[in-house]
Amino acid sequence: MLSWIFSILIAIILVQSLFFKFTNSAETQYIFGILGQFVGASFLSPFSELVMHYGGYIVGILEMVGVILLLFHDTRNIGSTLICVLMIGALFSHIFTPLGIVGNDGGLLFGMAVLVLVSSLIVAYLEELRVRLVYRKH
């Protein structure tokens, strides 16, 4: 039950952010524009344009897949793991790039990424416990 509650929380946060990513909102353009410039200044420069123009769509699709996997009991562990990886990437982007933690939103995106990461870790842990209990009975 607790795993389900955290899964719903994650889904609510990520699904509302999909609108901004899939409509290529000004905020999405700003975020992935900065990330694209950051990538362009490194050995990954060939991927700069990809990040700038398609990063929001790519991350949005991966988040949507993660949420869908999270909503089904049998795939919840995979979904929570995918979302953990995505949120670690988001936190890395906020901490180690010019994007920054606070940005122009007062740190809201960073805070939501932390909340989703912690919730995903809790779901992954609870699902692992559930799987171990199921196999222990057999």
DSSP string, 39-57: HHTSTTGGGHHHHHHHHHH
Q: Structure pTM?
A: 0.89
Q: Of the spans 21-30, 42-51, 128-137, which averages the highest pLDDT?
A: 21-30
Q: How far is CA 61 from the centre of its chain?
A: 10
Q: Which amino acid is at 93?
A: S
pLDDT at 138 (0 to 100): 61
d(CA 68, CA 13): 13
Picking from 48, 62, 50, the residue whose alpha carbon sits closest to that of residue 18 is 62
For range 59-83, the mean pLDDT: 96
Average pLDDT value for the chain: 91
Picking from 78, 101, 81, the residue whose alpha carbon sits closest to that of residue 31 is 101
pLDDT at 131 (0 to 100): 81
